[in-house]
Amino acid sequence: MAGSNQNSDNLEKEFIELVKHSRRGKLKVYIDMSAGVDKIYRMLQEAMCC
């Protein structure tokens, strides 16, 4: 029983380290002079390439 508790502690520590080292997301704001599909088209293009 003590071995499984130690395994869960190790898994928890590994998970916390993984979260700490994970990459942060990026926020992009698209601004244009008028309403239209140009911004949406560019957002979809960027989403598909990455």
CA 6, CA 1: separation in Å to the nearest integer?
9
CA 30, CA 20: separation in Å to the nearest integer?
29
Is residue 31 included in any domain, yes or no?
yes
pLDDT value for 50: 62
pLDDT value for 17: 83
Is residue 12 included in any domain, yes or no?
no
- Give me the number of domains the chain comprises: 1
Residue 48: which domain range? 25-50
Mean pLDDT per block of 10 residues along the chain (50 residues) reads 70 84 75 77 81
Q: Is this model's pTM higher than 0.75 or not? A: no
Is residue 32 included in any domain, yes or no?
yes
pLDDT value for 2: 52
